[in-house]
Amino acid sequence: MTTQVCIIGAGPSGLLLGQLLHDIGVETLILERASLDHVLSRVRAGVLEQGTMRMLVTAGIGGRMHAQGLVHEGFAITRDDDIHRIDLTGLTGGKWVTVYGQTEVTRDLVDRRAETGGVTHYEADGVALHEFDSVKPYVTCRIGGEEVRIDCRFIAGCDGFHGASRRSVPEDAIRTFEKVYPFGWLGILSDVPPVSHELIYASHSRGFALCSMRSRSRSRYYIQCNAGDSIDAWSDDRFWTELRRRLPPGIAESMVTGPSFEKSIAPLRSFVAEPMRFGNLFLVGDAAHIVPPTGAKGLNLAASDVHYLFEGLRGHFLERDNHLLDTYSSRALDRVWKAVRFSWWMTTMLHRFPDQSPFEARIMESELAYTLGSEAAQTALAENYVGLPY
Ligand code: FAS
Ligand code: PHB
């Protein structure tokens, strides 16, 4: 088989890049390790920046997103029993975010690729990348039990944190930066109306909590839990009781609870791999970086990586100009590190760290108190939350 760009991974990065390239006549082939059902069963991000929305509209999937997505012009931060609203739109000169689940984004991209004739091989086993430091890279894998070789001009590693792409790079060619947080997020989905029409980020002496949603009838809630926690230790009743204890009484009392139909624990880490290009292999999205979900940046960073790489590949294939391809890594990393900083800052300010010294705990309490009392600090928070420019 041959193609122009072989994309490893059919998550949001791979599907969005594949669609944008397909729409300008660049041939792509996507290799995905999991089944389509498994990819569509994943519950992850919930908040889209306007830049991400623009990319998705360009890729032809604006319809359902605009019909079902919820525009959010602010969110609340609670500090024990106090409630503070962060006026995103007022502080950023009119910007907002949209609540529309990553599961739906993935479903829309899968449907769009099928409609427009793009090829994705699911359950592709043993994907291996070869000679990406040459002008004739190729990928091998097993599809339906048969060994397959795909010759291509470029490889886009869109296969997430645990994928094959970053691991294919020689150790001496890549530098990684990592911080693992001493806690996780226990999240549930439940078909009950959200407790508030906007998100609530709760900082509490018992730990962090987040009240989010997927629609006006489907809630997404998270609580900070121990890094080694198991969902078996968390019945629905125990979850609801703990969530309510971390919220101001007025909010807790008005919360509608019900059975969860999804429950999972996500570990939290900050991670960046530099550079994001190795010859004709480009790392995109979670394959290159991970952020704690506090700042809702993971999916949105994947979208800005795709923006930079798509621009570079369009220059190469349509204008015979490699400048934007050659600057992909530096342009993407500049925005990545700013989002990594913001996600680390918001996580550190809102969570309780078991290993924190009393001095550090006071400093973080003071960071939150200053932020909630300063329009300048809230403006900085808001401009990062709605998304820095590409
Ligand atoms: P993805 O990991 O989504 O997709 C990579 C794809 O590559 C997957 O389909 C995988 O099966 C495939 N793959 C892996 N190895 C392969 C191989 N060897 N061969 C072929 N295919 C392979 N972000 C937020 O903003 N908010 C959140 O609340 C949030 N919650 C999250 C919860 C969890 C448990 C995780 C893991 C992430 C969460 N994220 C969140 C971040 C998440 O949304 C990512 O940023 C987003 O999925 C990035 O998309 P991709 O880069 O496409 O990577
Ligand atoms: C979500 O709805 O899943 C969500 C929202 C905001 C975050 C993280 C996750 O910061």
Alpha-carbon Rg of the chain, whole angstroms? 21
The mean per-residue pLDDT over the stretch 314-322 comes to: 98
What pLDDT sits at residue 273?
98
The mean per-residue pLDDT over the stretch 268-279 comes to: 98
What pLDDT sits at residue 80?
87
- Helical segments of 50-166, H only: 50-58, 62-68, 88-91, 102-115
What pLDDT sits at residue 89?
98
Determine what percent of the chain is predicted with pLDDT higher than 70: 100
Domain with CATH 3.50.50.60 in the chain: 5-70+99-177+269-347
What pLDDT sits at residue 244?
98
Question: What three-state secondary structure class fits 323?
Answer: helix
Domain with CATH 3.30.9.10 in the chain: 182-268+354-386
Ligand 2 pocket check for 202: Cβ under 6 Å: no
Is 203 in contact with 77 (CB distance < 8 Å)? yes
DSSP 156: E
Homologous superfamily of the 5-70+99-177+269-347 domain (CATH): FAD/NAD(P)-binding domain (3.50.50.60)
Ligand 2 pocket check for 47: Cβ under 6 Å: yes
Q: Using one digit for the tens of pLDDT, what is the confidence trace for 92-117?
A: 999 999 999 999 999 999 999 999 99
The mean per-residue pLDDT over the stretch 292-301 comes to: 98
Is 9 in contact with 157 (CB distance < 8 Å)? yes
In angstroms, the CA 135 to CA 141 distance is 20
For a ligand 2 pocket test, name from 220, 223, 347 the mutation site with the most ligand atoms within 8 angstroms of its C-beta. Answer: 220
Q: Using one digit for the tens of pLDDT, what is the confidence trace for 346-367?
A: 999 999 999 899 999 999 999 9
Domain made up of 182-268+354-386: CATH architecture: 2-Layer Sandwich (3.30)
Residue 16 alpha carbon to ligand 2 centre in Å = 20
* Average pLDDT for the chain: 97
Strand partners, 186: 223, 265
Decide: pTM greater than 0.75. yes
DSSP 81: T
What pLDDT sits at residue 259?
98
DSSP 206: T
| C-alpha separations of 301 from 55, 88, 286, 308 in Å | 12, 19, 9, 11
What pLDDT sits at residue 355?
87
In angstroms, the CA 152 to CA 308 distance is 20
